[in-house]
Amino acid sequence: MFWIVLSTVTIAATWAAAGLAALQAARTARTPQGAIGWAVFLLAAPIAALPAYMIFGHHRFKGYWTARRAAEQAVVATRNYTSARSGKLPTLPVNAAPFEAIAGMNICHGNGLELLVDGENTFNSIFEAIDEAQEYILVQYYILRADTVGRKLQAKLIEAAERGVTVWFTTDSIGSRKLSRGFARALEEAGVNMIDPAVQRPPWHRLRINFRNHRKTVIVDGRTGFTGGLNAGEEYMGLNTVMGPWRDTHVRLTGPVVQQLQLSFAEDWHWHTQEPILDLLNWDAELSPQDRPGLIVSTGPGDTNGNGSMLFFSVITAAQERVWMASPYLVPDQEVLAALKHAALRGLDVRILLPNSIDHHLPWLAGFAFFDELREAGVRILRYQGGFMHQKCFVIDDRISGAGTANLDYRSFRLNFETMALFFDSRSAHEMSEMLARDFQRSIELTQPLDQQAWPIRLLAPVTRLLAPVL
């Protein structure tokens, strides 16, 4: 009898706690979808959900947001370097206002862009730039492996430091959690300014899991910058036997957008270390003869307006003819989902390129719960067949193109630090569209509805969609 009473009391207490937590989630979640996701999870599986909510729940983030915004304010005065336009901008093919408001900076001209397709082109270009560095190098990766690619990057940075180049280097504590202390120590001993993922600043527990710095940035002398989808590891060269060929895109940047990119790095560095490095960097941009209007948009969980989602909403709603997007995941929030459907209903050519291979099962499954709804509105879903596709790119009409680190999912929209490089000219859009058109040729269109998929997908896709805001 005692055990029956104890079990009854325990179950009742668990349900009561879950109910209170669901009410708290409804009050503190940043979006209605997040509130619903937590409430469903807590009430459906309280034993599993309660510990998760204690660690990841949005009620725990207030202190983080305050500290992060304080770090940004400490360097925000430097935005006048990157916001100043080099002369009068020609008339842009789009309304610049929403993009500049999201970025907190002005579109600038005098930029150069080179698309770097896949790992060999990307790392050859990065290593060449590092070898040519004369003053400083800024390096930031979400994932850094201590394999042949990571070791080569390490060697290049050590060589640069030994010839007198100042190097600042940081990685993410989750993405690079397997990186050994010895790897970091070798860089430090060579004089590299290193933020070791093992000793990054607190708060330790939830923030190292949820607030991931997903950016991939390399900047040399304030004159050449790189960002995009590729981390530093063998799989990004297509050398992983499990994942096979790896399709990805990076961009090499020159001109004032490099200053915008390094401002984002300086903010991240200040957040981790409280060390201001702004006065040590070059803010005198060299104009590129390509003269492409561009803008760096850096987003993160410290944003008060959901800028990650707002960026994709803005580019989609600006479209008049086509929306072509490539992402490894498709788990959109309601705003981006509505924008995609509305674009297709307006008669636009809307295509979303996704991988056919799987690297993370939960977002892959969740995507199936969106496909039918999107296809019914006229959106075409294509699955890439040439290996795993990891690029994050888009082209809008022949007017806007973008590449960077942000996926089409809740985590990139709300929880990760991301960087996207946007360009507002027909040349950049043409180059991006040609690249994506080649990828479309190696893809097949998904036409099979959810109720005809394999039973695990039919069963689990709707559940993972409900959990999308908390994945």
**Token pair belonging to 258:** 């490099």
Contact present, 39 and 22 (Cβ < 8 Å) = yes
Q: Is 147 a catalytic residue?
A: no
Q: What is the dihedral of CA 25, 28, 29, 33, to 10 degrees?
A: 70
Q: Which neighbouring-strand residues pair with 224?
A: 220, 254
Q: Residue 294: what are its φ and ψ, rounded to 5°?
A: -145, 170
Q: Is 397 a catalytic residue?
A: yes
Alpha-carbon distance of 101 to 105, in angstroms, equals 7
Active-site residue identified among 196, 397, 425, 439: 397
Which residue type occupies 353? Answer: L
**What separation, in Å, do the N-terminal and C-terminal C-alpha atoms of the chain show?**
40
Residues in the chain: 471
Alpha-carbon distance of 153 to 159, in angstroms, equals 10
Alpha-carbon distance of 252 to 219, in angstroms, equals 10
Active-site residue identified among 196, 221, 248, 268: 221
Active-site residue identified among 58, 392, 409, 439: 392
Q: Is 398 a catalytic residue?
A: no
Q: Is 178 a catalytic residue?
A: no
Q: Is 268 a catalytic residue?
A: no
Q: Residue 134: what are its φ and ψ, rounded to 5°?
A: -115, -30
Nearest CA to 38 out of 415, 309, 30 is that of: 30
Secondary structure (H, E, C), 228-239: ECCCECHHHHCC
Active-site residue identified among 109, 156, 214, 270: 214
What distance lies between CA 385 and its chain's CA centroid? 23
Active-site residue identified among 109, 390, 398, 439: 390
Nearest CA to 433 out of 340, 374, 351 is that of: 351
Nearest CA to 215 out of 291, 271, 254 is that of: 271
Alpha-carbon distance of 134 to 150, in angstroms, equals 22
Nearest CA to 130 out of 85, 98, 160 is that of: 160
Contact present, 420 and 403 (Cβ < 8 Å) = yes
Supply the angle between the helices 307-317 and 334-345 in degrees, to the nearest 10: 0
Q: Is 214 a catalytic residue?
A: yes
Active-site residue identified among 58, 156, 216, 270: 216
Alpha-carbon distance of 16 to 387, in angstroms, equals 48
What distance lies between CA 116 and its chain's CA centroid? 18
What amino acid positions are annotated as catalytic residues? Answer: 214, 216, 221, 390, 392, 397
